[in-house]
Chain A
Amino acid sequence: MSFLSRNALLRRSALVAALALSTSLTAPGPARAADSETLVVGLVAEPVTFDPTQIGDLNTGRVSRRIYQGLTGFEYGTYKIKPQLAESWEISEDGLVYTFKLRPDVKFHDGTPFDAASVKYSYDRQTDPEHPAHGALNYRYAKNYLGNIEAIEVIDDLTVRFKLKTPQAPFLQYLTVGSMGIISPAALQKWGDDIAQHPVGTGPYMLTEWEPGVKTVLTAFGDYYEGVPAIKNLIYVPIVEPQARLSAISTGEIGLTYDVPVESLDALREDPNVEVATGLSAHVWYVALDTTRSDPPFDNKLVRQAMNYAVDKEAIVKDIVKGTGEVSISPLSPIYGDAYNPDVQKYPYDPEKAKALLAEAGVPDGFSCTFMVPESGSGMQSPVEMGTFIQANLAAVGINCAIQTMEWGAYLTEYRNKPEMAQMSWNSVMGDPDYVLYRLFHSSAFPPGWNAGSYKNEQVDALLSKAQVITDQAERDKLYREAQALIVEDAPWIFVDHGQQIVAYTPALKDFKISPNFDFAFEYTHLE
């Protein structure tokens, strides 16, 4: 090759580069996102699949819940069950048979009618390996939510009957869960496992564009039975970096985002372009103690109570999470209403009392232990700061914990391997206390189950088991209140806080409410 051509090439590439640079400098600034029919939502991570049975993360669930619905749903902004695709239902005396009357006016996004057969089709797909739409997937939720169903019968087009193996009080709550969303059988037959890319449900919005990593566009469904939503387009964009998310909400590039860093909350509240909503959820943040261990002496109730007195939870809520939480006195947050028991034993910050209890327990000089802390993690708030603070509080009464930090993926594995002392948080996508208390405190949930401290109290076991099978809600609430009182007195955890959801959005968005199940139900909102 001659020198001239090299030279020409160099010159040409310089020209292209200069052109690229100049066009980029003259390009318009950030586009303003919203007209009155379009809302841009900044997600923390992008959605990964739109097969509701395969969704394992909140971000995807938040989008997918616009597309799919279950037989029951929640009243906007609450954990109260309301009819969704079912119009009404009857429960047999023995709590074993649920008969649902379905709404007659419901269509799937592909135009096919929603009926009893589609309910059976969606659920049998998950549980029956021979089902034509079962495919090569693993249905991770089938056992938990559908495992107790003996049979699903189609009585007529608009009546479906579930026969249960044993009475299961939270069953109506189960039907609200994302994986119980009803999928169009016609679409399942057409797409098979690829339904994940071509979702067809009955919800207020349908998927119209999905560019992974870039954006997910939902458009209002014209035949939606509760009326076409006021916001016609929802555009979800992933913004991983918190500062970029903050920048995007204050410049108006996006209309709503969440999980904003707590240290920026004050500045955000003063920003006239941003509205901040906080709301309590079913979240609980705690430190689990292995109640079977004698060294460190976590098998001693007095020691565990002492640790609860030693930790200044008020300070954690005020200074570390900047008021985006509420001190936890029990595993259930007040959002559980009548099932929540405010009259349990309290553990206010009282280092002297903690020392006295340690002396009474026979360890006046304290002891040492290992405290597992994740570097980050879903629902973990500020794990390292909180862990360090707790470590200092405990050291002040003579308990010396060595902190061991781990990356979240590794942490989850270790957490289920009988840790001595470890942080965890629990979020509930449904409003039944069973989902919290039974899974975290019943002795059938020992590791690798989620009762990480192997806590066992026969009375608690009996109360939780009983509350699982009776259907009288008032009676169940009473059992759960009793169980909480026992659990809190036994102190298998250091109870720390219930975190709040923090959502920042444009003041143009009206009627927005935080939902306890972490959903953003934009079909009930509008833009001004």
Chain B
Amino acid sequence: MRKYILRRLAQTIPVLFGVSILVFAMLHLAPGDPVEVLLGPEANAESIEHLRKEMGLDQPLVVQYATWAGRMVEGDFGRSTVLNREVFPEIMKRFKATLILTAGALTFAVIVGVGIGILAAAMRNSIFDSVAMLFALAGLSMPLFFTGIASILIFARELRWLPSSGMYSPVGGGFLDLMAHLVLPAITLGAVSAAIIARMTRSSMLEVLGQDYIRTARAKGARERRVIWLHALRNAAITILTVLGMQFGYLLGGSVITEAVFSWPGLGQMMVRAIQSRDYPMVQGGVLFVSAIFVFVNLAVDMLYAWVDPRIRYS
């Protein structure tokens, strides 16, 4: 097992290396110049040239990449060109907010998705099944910014049940305040995942429910509830877990739009601003950080398989 983990960890190195090259190349080859965005309309050609040199942007791309990658290996993410602060502490600060949002969305997606999926499978071909799957399809097709803005207009502006945006109220704060602010963005972000999870749970449950041992369980007199929640769900869990792991990565990425719509102070919102202002160190550091998280979450999911299904062993 330990050998397996070590091997998997080693495999993340080329992945992150590839990501670093990709993000670096995309940023530097995209049109737009950080110096001009930074200096703004007041700048003259001379100061542009001067700052470009100071930031090392006059060097060949390969040299720039090597310098940056070298520092990254040492754990130095560099300084944000816009905020004039260290990149890594900023990422960590924002990541906390993103994690809260992602966790909220995932909680919502799991409760709703797994719940609906199981019920739909148990009541296969019933009206509930059809309606639930219709909603799941609709949830899948709805773009985040639409559901987000619509929910602001309905629940914040018209009904006034919940705050429009942000993570805390301007005055006050605390856990309840955070939760009130979390509801709309978490549901917006989690809706698509809930739909995917519901569909996957349903089909995976249906497959399991057709197996012999389920028939055996029923035959020996187990109650239907026990059959479904214990015998079937446990065996359907592997598929659900895989989807969950992938959804976590999707939610981290999807949070960019949700954070922008709800002004959630997370990593995504910071990244959008960093991209607009061509804050190279911030964008590169941020993307690499999120990629690393994604890779490790996938690794963790693989580890979980062994726990959920004792038949799976890694060597």
Contact = CB atoms under 8 A, between A and B. Distances in A.
Given A1-B307, A17-B111, A410 B263 contact: no
Interface string A15-37: 00100110111011111010000
B168 A214 contact: yes
A409 B94 contact: no
Interface in A230-252: 235, 237-241, 243-248, 250-251
A137 interface: yes
How big is chain B's contact interface, by range? Answer: 35 or more
A152 to B, nearest CB: 21
A315 interface: no
B119 to A, nearest CB: 15
A253 B183 contact: no
A6 B304 CA distance: 12
Nearest to A425: B41
A138 B54 contact: yes
A29 B160 contact: yes
B98 to A, nearest CB: 11
A408 B276 contact: yes
Contacts of A1: 307
Interface stretch (B149-157, B201-209, B245-253, B294-302): B149-157
Nearest to B169: A31
Interface stretch (A411-419, A455-463, A498-506): A411-419
A64 B165 CA distance: 24
A254 interface: yes
A239 B32 contact: no
B210 interface: no
A191 to B, nearest CB: 12
B152 A140 contact: no
A466 interface: no
Given A24-B182, A28-B180, A406 B31 contact: yes
B172 interface: yes
Contacts of B162: 29-30
B278 A48 contact: no
B303 interface: no
A513 interface: no
A137 B164 contact: no
B171 A38 contact: yes
How big is chain A's contact interface, by range? Answer: 35 or more
A410 B260 contact: no
Given A214-B166, A247-B152, A247-B156, A23 B32 contact: no
A56 interface: yes
Interface in B247-269: 260-263, 265-266, 269
Contacts of A408: 276
A412 B262 contact: no
A68 B269 CA distance: 28
A106 interface: no
Nearest to A141: B42
B160 A239 contact: no
B277 interface: yes
A12 interface: no
A450 B273 CA distance: 25
B12 to A, nearest CB: 26
Interface stretch (B44-52, B59-67, B217-225): B44-52
B170 A409 contact: no
Contacts of A6: 307-308
B263 A244 contact: yes
A285 B70 CA distance: 45
Given A140-B40, A214-B265, A407 B157 contact: no
Interface in A415-451: 416, 426, 448-450
Given A212-B265, A213-B97, A239-B165, A56 B39 contact: yes
A247 B148 CA distance: 13
B91 to A, nearest CB: 12
A140 B160 contact: no
B164 A247 contact: yes
A244 B180 contact: no
B39 A247 contact: no
Given A56-B39, A140-B38, A449-B45, A240 B156 contact: no
Given A237-B170, A244-B165, 19 more contacts: A1-B307, A6-B307, A23-B175, A30-B156, A30-B162, A31-B171, A49-B83, A49-B84, A140-B51, A143-B44, A214-B167, A239-B164, A239-B263, A241-B152, A247-B152, A253-B169, A253-B170, A407-B32, A413-B31
Interface of B: 30-33, 36-48, 51, 54, 82-85, 90, 93-94, 97, 104, 107-108, 110-111, 148-149, 152-153, 156-157, 160-172, 175-177, 179-180, 182-183, 260-263, 265-266, 269-270, 273, 276-278, 307-308
Nearest 7 pairs of A and B residues by beta carbon: A213-B265, A410-B31, A409-B32, A27-B180, A24-B179, A247-B157, A31-B169
